[in-house]
Amino acid sequence: MTARSGRRAGAAAAFIAGLVAILPAAAAEDAPQEPHDGPAADAPVTWRQVGRDAKYVFGRPAHLDGRGWTRLGVSIGLGAGLYAVRDEVRDFAHDHDDQTPGGVLDTARLMGRTAAPLLVAGGFFLAGAVGDSARARETGSVVLETLTFASAITGVSQRILATQRPRKGDDIVWFGSGGGHSVSGDVTVAASMLAPIIDRYLLVDENDGGGARAWKRIGAGAMYGTVGLVALQRIHAEAHYLPDVYFGYLNGLMVGKMIVDSRKGGREWRDERRARRVEVALSPAGVSIAWPSRPAPGGEGSGRR
């Protein structure tokens, strides 16, 4: 390892260690306190709960409603549409390679190494043991589950749709025997840390003050952006096409969200949060706008149009 790469690895390790050290302590202020167990967990850290989470993730398509199927269709359709411009994006990245801050991308690339979520999970387990925090220990488990489930989906997807790396060619083969890169494993790994941390520690709550809202939004934006840099690095390194990194990002992010949902008992808590903010979404009838629901005399008000 060169001195330069060593400094990058050290900076990344310091960032991860700082993140792991700060988040459980910050969340402890809002979490319910228990006499001996610290901040409460959403669900126990047991193999039985891991099985429930796996059932929720892999069985989710069987329980989607119309709105869920629409979102899934739009997400997959967008990724499929990116195949139409993948060569142009590759050529653009190649032509502007000298304008790209390679050091920044190479440093962000460390987040796509398998060691990164393992270190993050280990950090949360350590923080949970030192601070007697069940919530921190659970977060470590959620990170590991997300990494495992999302990586499994990536492996199967690469077998179903095998594509060459840009530096080698542009062949696309259904059910290829190997060498598939249709979903970026590096971006999947990086994105697997998003929901376990952001959805558990960085979601803005209505009771948060201005300072808390600011640092949560900055922290969440930094994490989303860093995974985006991992995706950009894979494109500039001619390791993946644009749709490959898109599906890797989507895979890691959505699997993590589903595991968070599973441990909170389902989608109800997320739908309740969405009901308190303006949301723009695609629907079969076009674009729908959901306004925050407000209590009305005799019942709940709804502002969906």
Q: Same domain, yes or no, for 102 and 52? A: yes
Q: What is the mean pLDDT of residues 238-254?
A: 93
Let me know whether 152 and 91 are in one domain.
Answer: yes
Q: Where are the beta strands (DSSP E) in 63-156?
A: none
Read off the pTM: 0.77
Average pLDDT over residues 245-259: 95
The pLDDT of residue 149 is 96
pLDDT per residue as tens digits for the range 101-111: 667 787 888 88
Show the CA angle centred on residue 116, arms to residues 205 and 169, nearest 5°.
110
pLDDT score at 37? 44
At residue 297, the pLDDT reads: 44
239: confidence class by pLDDT, cuts 50, 70, 90: confident
Q: What total of structural domains would you count in the chain?
A: 2
Q: Is residue 150 a contact partner of residue 192, using CB atoms and an 8 Å limit?
A: yes
- DSSP structural state of residue 176: -
* Segments forming the whole domain that contains residue 142: 3-267
Q: Residue 53 has what pLDDT?
A: 94
**Are 83 and 232 members of one domain?**
yes
Domain match, 149 and 100 both: yes
Query: pLDDT tier at 112 (50, 70, 90 boundaries)?
Result: confident
284 in the same domain as 194: no
Residue 237 and residue 288 in one domain: no
Does 298 lie in the same domain as 227? no
Q: Are residues 305 and 168 in the same domain?
A: no
Q: Kindly state whether residues 168 and 105 are assigned to the same domain.
A: yes
One domain, residues 219 and 286: no
258 and 190 inside one domain: yes
Order of strands, sheet of 286-291, starting from the edge strand that comes earlier in the sequence = 279-283, 286-291, 303-304
Residue 29 has what pLDDT?
Answer: 42
Q: CA 210, CA 218: separation in Å to the nearest integer?
A: 12
Sequence-distant (6+) residues with CB within 8 A of 182 are 157, 158, 160, 161, 162, 163, 172, 243, 244, 247
Residues 121 and 220 in one domain: yes
- For 177-191, the pLDDT digits (tens) are 656 788 999 999 999
pLDDT in tens, 188-206: 999 999 999 999 999 888 8
Decide if pLDDT at 249 tops 90: yes
Give me the chain's average pLDDT, please.
79
Q: Between 205 and 96, name the one with better pLDDT.
A: 205
pLDDT tens digits along 123-156: 999 999 998 899 999 999 999 999 999 999 999 9
Measured in degrees and rounded to the nearest 5, phi and psi for residue 205 equal -105, 150
pLDDT digits (tens, 9 = 90+) for 9-68: 444 444 454 444 444 444 444 444 343 345 688 888 899 999 999 999 999 888 888 888
